[in-house]
Amino acid sequence: MPSSMLVAALQPKGCMEDLAVNEAAVCAALAAAAAASVKLAVLPELAMLPYFCAEPAGSRCDWAVSIDADVLARVAAHCASLGIAALLPFYEWDPDGPGYNSAVLIGADGRLVPGAGLQGSGRVARKLHLPSGPDADEAGHFRPGADLRVFDLGGLRLGCLICYDRRFPEAWRALRALGADLVAVPVAGLSGEDDAFVLGELRTHARENGLAVIYASRAGEDRLAGTSIPQPGGSCVIAADGTVLARSAVGAAATAGMAVAAIERADIERARATLPLFERRHPILTQGFITPGIRIEA
């Protein structure tokens, strides 16, 4: 297993309706990360699309693509040419109804990396929890996923929680139970949330579960149908003990760039030994829930 991996939370500029421009921005961000010797890059939620969930339900179904779509193949080939792995979120087409808010892990060889889950394996991580409110209705645009994913990347295991999924402590515990070492948290949407709370929440989940975090957002604003959609920025890398290792600018001050840091296996192991909350859970808390190699039934 590698003792260290240089990772990046990419923070590209906001997206627009010209999807070719968005794709070029993602590829440029990946090239910049590779030039900085990054081995794993995490891109924001819906990486090549403006955040469209304030529009009428189903209005952007034509933007959904399958896992074998040309656009994903082009980004995968770009990763292979750069020798970089990337967590790429996208709008996944489904023939039976609304698509999924999804992500794939592209290996440094350009191949999609399969991931383990609570109920089986697969190549796609899908957002489980879909927020719905007066400003944005994700439940009207997507269908919820049915399982988590943890991907093996050169010995380090990467979990994925897409945006709103990070709000649920059970999801973090489940990823730890599945053997994750670090968690990618790609986000997009309307900015305006309390920044100190967002960062504190991520640090708490990292520390409580002994998991490093790569949180990737966009900078500036998305443009859709003549409307500006401010993005939160604040992309960061957090160690398993909750220490902020690197962070990009936040809110109106945010610019395109990346937060880069080394994730050290020794640091993860030290954080877990210092604060072994996962191992010390009372058995009553794990009834009917999965733990490594053990399932305690109610």
pLDDT at residue number 289: 58
Q: Helix or strand or coil: residue 209?
A: helix
Domain span including residue 218: 4-295
Amino acid letter, residue 206: A
Angstrom CA distances, 288 to 73, 118, 195, 297, stand at 40, 12, 35, 5
CA 190 – CA 187 distance, rounded (Å)? 10
pLDDT band per the 50, 70, 90 thresholds, residue 290: low
**CB-CB contact of 43 with 259 (8 Å):** no
CATH number of domain containing 148: 3.60.110.10
* 76 contacts 106 by C-beta, under 8 angstroms: yes
Looking at residues 78-82, what average pLDDT do you find?
Answer: 99
- Triad 281, 161, 216: Cα angle to 5°: 125
Helix (H, G, I), strand (E, B) or coil at 132: strand
- pLDDT on residue 296: 32
Whether pLDDT at 42 is above 60: yes
Domain count, the chain: 1
- For residue 114, give the nearest of 144, 152, 165, 75 by alpha carbon: 152
Q: What pLDDT, on the 0 to 100 scale, is given for residue 190?
A: 80
Per-residue pLDDT at 188 exceeds 50: yes
pLDDT reading at 294 higher than 60: no
**How far are the Cα atoms of 27, 71, 180 from residue 48, in angstroms, in the given order?**
10, 10, 26
| Contact predicate 242/275, CB 8 Å | no
- Output the 3-class SS for 143-159: CCCCCCCEEEECCEEEE
Calpha distance 238→14 (Å, rounded): 23
For residue 147, the 8-state DSSP code is -
For residue 235, which of 7, 5, 32 has the smallest C-alpha distance?
7
CA 162 remoteness from chain centre: 5
Query: What Å distances lie between residue 28 and 12, 24, 35, 143, CA to CA?
Result: 9, 6, 11, 31
Pairing of strands 40-42, 4-11: parallel
Entry pTM: 0.95
Beta bridge partners of 236: 215, 247
- Give residue 288's pLDDT band: very low, low, confident or very high (50, 70, 90): low
